[in-house]
A and B are shown apart, each in its own frame.
Chain A
């Protein structure tokens, strides 16, 4: 890398937003209590999820993989054989409190994986489509086709082929979510591509890959990270919806969606089963959205309404 082009870069950077992302985020957190509350809830859930195996090992929580159907559907606060069931037991006799705590792991994992993978694949597709106008039409037509199929139906069909496994749920939801991300990224790329500093870089003889890496990709970062936050929340809800319809994570693995799906037929008689995971689901989705709103406002106010 020559000093000449470096100085050019500095020069061109002057045309981009200057504040580094992390400082913008920290600032926003300070100024926006909504975002802070969201972040705190997310972190709390994450800590609990990470600690779940330890809690099980310490016998504070019941092992979620041990079934005790003779003690099924106990009401909240019941003790049976020396075990105390704070929120009662589910249809297979598992302690609701334990499986909900344990279930947060999968919900978080699925949500986070879908958000990260679809952000990456979506950005990649969007950058390629936006920058190389020759393939733009083909790629975006294909994305339009996928987007025209209602997300949940596409996910159900994919799950029917792939079978219930966590990685399949992640794959199915990624297929559903990537096109939307790619569309957003593409529109950002299209704008930047026409901007002066890209023209200038090209005039200075920068290669396509250099322009992509140095100018285009960094500018898509803010919208992508905002989009990923919202995908995180929607993927958690989507996983739950799939499990609710019986097409999600395998039933032996407790997830919030699975617990609700399993407990939905007991909704009237044993509402304790679905209430705790529903609250968890709702709070987590709410927290992530609160956080995402703040993030969007601080990183890229122009995105308001686009996402």
Chain B
């Protein structure tokens, strides 16, 4: 197992290298000039040039690339060229909201979708099944931002049950932290649960047709035991795969949800940095997000082992 994990981690290195090169070259091809933004409307050439020098933008591109790579290699992600903050500090501040949002959304969507999917398969073609499938289709097609605004209007403005946006750090007030995340997480989780629900239902339907399920039922085992012990355990594998897929979706969805709900997360950090051409922030954060993505995939693969003993990575 350890060997497998190590192998996968090593295999992730080239992927990361590709991400780094792609992102670095893309943003340095971009026509925007952060010095011109910062110098302001009344600045003349000399002032912009002075600003460019102060921002370290006069170094040749290969030198800048080398600085980036050698920095990342030792865990130094540089400084924002606008605010001078360490990018690592900025990210540390922003990682908590983003991860919290993603994890709570994931939890919500799993809590919604797996029971819904299992029950829908169990009671196939019932009204419950139909409703679940319709909601799942809806979750597929509804744009995050539209759903977000509808939720804000319904549950924050008309019925002031939830805050309309904003964020409270976990360390400050845990109750408020959860309270602020519920609405955005629901928006993200609803969309995410669509895929998982459909997958759960589909695989459960197949598994329920299997002989061993029939045998289990014939043995007189209770439906709950049959559903969970025999059926779902065998259906879990594809479901986990799909959860892995949804995590990638969540990372994209987070960008928009953060904008709508004014959550100071990584997504907003990156979007703002792109509009300002804060190169250092863009390249470092995208690299980190990609790393998170790769790690999540690895964790998913490891999860298979625990769910399905037939899978072994050592051999």
Judge A-B direct contact (beta carbons within 8 Å).
yes
Q: Interface-forming stretch among B71-79, B140-148, B173-181?
A: B140-148
Q: Are A241 and B145 also in contact (CB < 8 A) when A152-B252, A268-B157, A305-B199 are?
A: yes
Q: A289 is contacted by which of B140, B238, B286 (Cβ under 8 Å)?
A: B140
Chain B residues with CB below 8 A from A278, complex form? 143, 146
Tell me the total A-B contact number using a CB cutoff of 8 A. 127
Contact A240 B26 (CB under 8 A): no
Chain B residues with CB below 8 A from A151, complex form? 252
Residues 12-43 of B at the A interface (beta carbon under 8 Å): 14-19, 22-23, 26-27, 29-32
Chain B residues with CB below 8 A from A147, complex form? 248
- Is B215's beta carbon under 8 Å from chain A? no
Q: What residue of chain B has the Cβ atom nearest to residue A152's Cβ? A: B252
Chain B residues with CB below 8 A from A152, complex form? 252, 255-256
Chain A 140-152 interface 0/1 with B at a Cβ cutoff of 8 Å (1 = within): 0110111111111
Chain B residues with CB below 8 A from A267, complex form? 149, 153
Q: Are A304 and B293 also in contact (CB < 8 A) when A156-B274, A282-B146, A285-B141 are?
A: no
Q: Are A289 and B141 also in contact (CB < 8 A) when A148-B19, A244-B256 are?
A: yes
Chain B residues with CB below 8 A from A149, complex form? 19, 22-23, 286, 289-290
Q: What residue of chain A has the Cβ atom nearest to residue B294's Cβ? A: A148
Bound CA span A159–B311, Å? 42
Contact B146 A153 (CB under 8 A): no
Chain B residues with CB below 8 A from A153, complex form? 252, 255, 267, 270-271, 286, 289
Residues 119-161 of A at the B interface (beta carbon under 8 Å): 141-142, 144-153, 156-158, 160-161
Bound CA span A16–B144, Å? 41
- Is A237's beta carbon under 8 Å from chain B? yes
Q: What residue of chain B has the Cβ atom nearest to residue A267's Cβ? A: B149
- Is B202's beta carbon under 8 Å from chain A? yes
Chain A residues with CB below 8 A from B241, complex form? 305
Chain A residues with CB below 8 A from B14, complex form? 141, 145
Bound CA span A305–B22, Å? 30
Bound CA span A248–B204, Å? 40
Contact B18 A142 (CB under 8 A): yes
CB distance from A164 to the nearest CB of B (A): 13
Contact A274 B203 (CB under 8 A): no
- Is A264's beta carbon under 8 Å from chain B? yes
Contact A244 B289 (CB under 8 A): no
Residues 248-307 of A at the B interface (beta carbon under 8 Å): 260, 264, 267-268, 271, 274, 278, 281-283, 285-286, 289-290, 293, 304-305
29 contacts between A and B (CB under 8 A): A141-B14, A145-B15, A145-B16, A149-B19, A149-B290, A150-B248, A152-B252, A152-B255, A152-B256, A153-B286, A156-B271, A161-B27, A161-B30, A163-B31, A233-B140, A237-B141, A241-B143, A241-B144, A245-B255, A260-B146, A274-B149, A278-B146, A281-B146, A282-B141, A282-B143, A282-B146, A285-B141, A285-B142, A286-B140
A145-B15, A152-B255, A161-B27 given; name 14 further pairs at CB < 8 Å: A144-B15, A145-B22, A149-B23, A150-B255, A150-B289, A152-B256, A153-B255, A153-B267, A157-B282, A237-B143, A260-B143, A267-B153, A268-B153, A285-B141
- A-B CB proximity, top 5 nearest: A145-B18, A285-B141, A148-B290, A286-B141, A161-B30
